[in-house]
Amino acid sequence: MKAMILAAGRGERLRPLTDTVPKPLVPVLGKPLIIYHIEKLAALGIVDIVINHAWLGHKLLETLGDGSAFGVNIRYSAEETALETGGGIKRALPLLCEGESDAPFLVINGDVFIDTLPPLLPLAEDALAHLWLVPNPEQHPNGDFALVDNRVHKQGDTKYTFSGMGIYHPSLFNGTPEGAFALGPLLRAQMAQGRVSGAMFKGLWCDVGTLSRLQTLESHLQNNG
Q: What is the pLDDT of residues 164-174, one digit of tens each?
A: 999 999 999 99
Fold category of 3-223 in CATH: Spore Coat Polysaccharide Biosynthesis Protein SpsA; Chain A (3.90.550)
Annotate 137-171 with b (16+ C-beta within 10 A) or e (fewer).
Answer: eeeeeebbbbbeeebbbeeeeebbbbbbbbbbbbe
The per-residue pLDDT for 12 is 67
The per-residue pLDDT for 54 is 85
How far is 76 from 66, CA to CA, in rounded Å?
A: 9
Phi, psi of 30 (to 5 degrees): 90, -5
- Global pTM reads 0.93
Bridge partners, residue 167, by sequence: 106, 130
The per-residue pLDDT for 90 is 95
How far is 210 from 187, CA to CA, in rounded Å?
A: 26
The per-residue pLDDT for 99 is 73
The per-residue pLDDT for 20 is 74
How far is 163 from 159, CA to CA, in rounded Å?
A: 13
Q: For residue 42, is pLDDT > 80?
A: yes
The per-residue pLDDT for 73 is 97
Residue of 172 and 224 predicted with greater confidence: 172
Residue spans of the domains in the chain: they are 3-223
Please write the tens of the pLDDT for every residue from 62-110: 999 999 999 999 999 988 888 999 999 999 999 999 876 789 999 999 9
Average pLDDT over residues 215-222: 90
Whole-number mean pLDDT of the chain? 91
**DSSP-derived 3-state class of residue 63:** helix
The per-residue pLDDT for 11 is 58
The per-residue pLDDT for 202 is 92
The per-residue pLDDT for 138 is 87
With bands split at pLDDT 50, 70 and 90, how would you rate the model's confidence at 210? confident
Strands (E), 151-222: 151-153, 159-168, 196-200, 205-207
Please write the tens of the pLDDT for every residue from 173-208: 999 998 999 999 999 999 999 999 999 999 999 998
